[in-house]
Structures are given as structure tokens and as C-alpha cells.
Amino acid sequence: MRVLVTGGAGFIGSHVVEALAAHGHEPLVYDVRDDPGADVRDPDAVARALTGVDAVCHQAAKVGLGDGVRDAAAYVSRNDLGTAVLLAAMADHGIRHLVLAGSMVVYGEGRYTCPRHGDVRPGPRTVADLDAGRFEPRCPHCAAALEPALIGEDAPADPRNVYATTKLAQEHLAAAWARSTGGTAVSLRYHNVYGPRMPRDTPYAGVASFFRSALARGEAPRVYEDGRQRRDFVHVRDVAAANLAALEADTAPGALTAYNTGSGDPHTVGEMARALAAAHGGPEPVVTGEYRLGDVRHITADSARLRADLGWKPTVDFEAGMRSFARDELRAP
């Protein structure tokens, strides 16, 4: 199968390219890192790139929490306009298979249970609470302490920042394309991806890259809040394998299917920082109490649907992954 991989020279995209080639497919890289003219917002360039293509893995995106709403136009342009241009060209070319790089950020906060009210959806954390170091969401009905749990794909979307909003819009665009064309669309909702070729020294990378970049400079990783935020850290090679499985799956046409793509093994941000620092040989992380408005407290994946439907399972466990990542090569931002 000839597969166009947008963002194929990037962190995750480059691993997707390798996985496709290793399994007999013909990946074609479309990325502004390789060619400044390879912009997903350029209809003519996209149309040329799609000639003879059977499927698309759409990895190209502007990522990260960003700068409040000041860079909202850039996020919408790259993520949503770019996706719309790509989907329109796919429709014109009769290409009916799409795998989209989705994200856990569409959920906002993860799943929580209250001892009295069961599953609840806490609202955004307030500046006053964050300033006072009250990081844990409370039950919106009785203010009781909540227990975080794994979140499934049927949870309602509740994006809490600009980037998250654009990732949800990408899914809606892909779903509209699938309904209109009878195509198959899969959104892999990545959780915290880490591994070789992560970008270094950039505010738009994930927390694993922040810590790894600090360690490479001989600095202590700076852990926000109290370090007890729960995340699902999944290795990039496992994410690439999920893309391959989604591409080869017999997915129902005319709709978008979303899959959480995580390890299923939650760890706190503090645990990750300590494991990475220990594997690197120090220095020890520092818990700062600082926060970023728009961050969520806990978000961990229930990836049972991906395992059941596509036969995928992660192969890199947390401890081995951190040992490897402590020495992995990072790429320039």
C-alpha cells in the first residue's frame, strides 16, 4: 500500500514511516522539515503529493499547550485548515483510508469517581485554587475528594485549551469526510508519547522531552504542581505500531472510530521524572508547585478497545522505556 505520511519527518511520523516500510508498505513523507513547499495548507502541493496514494497517515500538526489564545490562529491554521485541505484533496483523488493522529487532550480532565455520586466530570480548575496549591479537582456536586480512573473513548469531549480544541475539530472534520465519501477514518488518541527523536528545548514538546532536555543540560527536571499528576506514558514505537494496525484494519466505512493509544499503565509525572533522572545519573528532579493554566490534573487511558479491535498491545514497559529514553537521541526543535 502506498501511504502518504504527513509530518513524516517529525518525531512520531518518522517512526510511523519506519514501521510502514518494515511491513512492506511504501511510505511517502510529506513534511515541511524536508521540503518547505510541503505544507498541508497548500491545495496544489497536497494534490500533487496524493497522486497514486492509497491511504494517508495524518501526523502533521502544531502541538503543545501553546500560549493561551495568542497563538490560536496558528493552531487553527496548521491543524484544522490543514486537515480540511488534506481531506478535500483526498475526496477528489478517491482516497478512502485515513489514520489521524488524535490526542487525549480532547477529553479535558480524565475520568473521576466520587464515593457518593459515582462518575463525575469536574470543571476547569480555577486560578485561585491553583495559586493556593489546591491541585486536585473536587466533586462538582458535593466537593468530595475524587478518585482518578482510566478514561474510555465514549467519555464526552471537553477540550480545555486551544490545542485541544483544534484536535477535536480535526476529528469532526475527519468524521464529516468519512460520511461524505464512505471512507474509513481512525483517530488514534495518543497519550503521553516519548522516545527517540523527541524534539528538545522547545515549549511545544511533551513533559518527557522537557525533563530529558533538562537532564542533557545537566539541570534538574522541574516538576510542576506537586508531581502527583497521573499520565499514561507510551513509547513511540508502540504508537507507530498502532498506526500500522489501524491502517491495515478492516474498519467500518462512513464513520470515524476513535481509539485511546496508551500503555494502560498509569504513572505520576513525579514518578516519571525520578525514573528518568535515575536512569540518566541525575540530577534529581525539583517539585516547583508552579502550574500552567490549561493543564489538566489526571488523564490516563483505557486502551482496551484498541487491543480488542485491532489486536494491538504495547511492548515497551515503563521501566525499560525510561532507561532507554535517558540515553535516546533528541532532535533539534
Model confidence pLDDT, tens digit, residues 164-201: 999 999 999 999 999 999 999 999 999 999 999 999 87
Q: What is the mean pLDDT of the chain?
A: 95
Burial class (CB in 10 A: 0-12, 13-18, 19+), 132: exposed
Per-residue pLDDT, averaged over 129-137, amounts to: 97
* Helix locations, 104-252, DSSP H: 127-131, 162-181, 207-216, 236-248
Decide: 209 and 330 in contact? Cβ < 8 Å.
yes
Q: Tell me how crowded residue 273 is: count the other CB atoms within 10 A of its CB.
A: 27
Determine the pLDDT at residue 325. 97
Q: Tell me how crowded residue 116 is: count the other CB atoms within 10 A of its CB.
A: 10
Per-residue pLDDT, averaged over 237-242, amounts to: 98
Model confidence over 57-113: pLDDT tens digits?
999 999 887 777 899 999 999 999 999 999 999 999 999 999 999 999 999 999 999
User: Which grid cell sits at 31?
Assistant: 513534511
Determine the pLDDT at residue 333. 73
User: Which grid cell sits at 34?
Assistant: 524536508
Q: Of all residues in the chain, what percent carry a pLDDT higher than 70? A: 98
Terminal Cα distance for the chain, rounded = 31
Per-residue pLDDT, averaged over 17-36, amounts to: 96
User: Which grid cell sits at 170?
Assistant: 480535526
Among 163, 194, 224, 291, the one annotated catalytic: 163
| Reported confidence tier of residue 217, pLDDT bands at 50, 70, 90 | very high
Per-residue pLDDT, averaged over 159-166, amounts to: 93
CA distances (Å), origin 314, targets 24, 28, 30, 209, 321 = 21, 25, 27, 20, 11
For residue 78, the 8-state DSSP code is I
Whether pLDDT at 234 is above 90: yes
Cα diameter, the chain: 58
Determine the pLDDT at residue 203. 64
Determine the pLDDT at residue 201. 78
Q: Which residues is 192 bridged to in the sheet?
A: 233
Cβ neighbours for 142, distance < 8 A, ≥ 6 positions apart: 114, 116, 117
For residue 80, the 8-state DSSP code is I
Whether pLDDT at 49 is above 80: yes
| Reported confidence tier of residue 204, pLDDT bands at 50, 70, 90 | low
CATH superfamily of 2-110+151-326: NAD(P)-binding Rossmann-like Domain (3.40.50.720)
Asked about 163 being catalytic, the answer comes back as yes
User: Which grid cell sits at 240?
Assistant: 507507530
Selection from 299, 321, 303 nearest residue 312 by Cα: 303
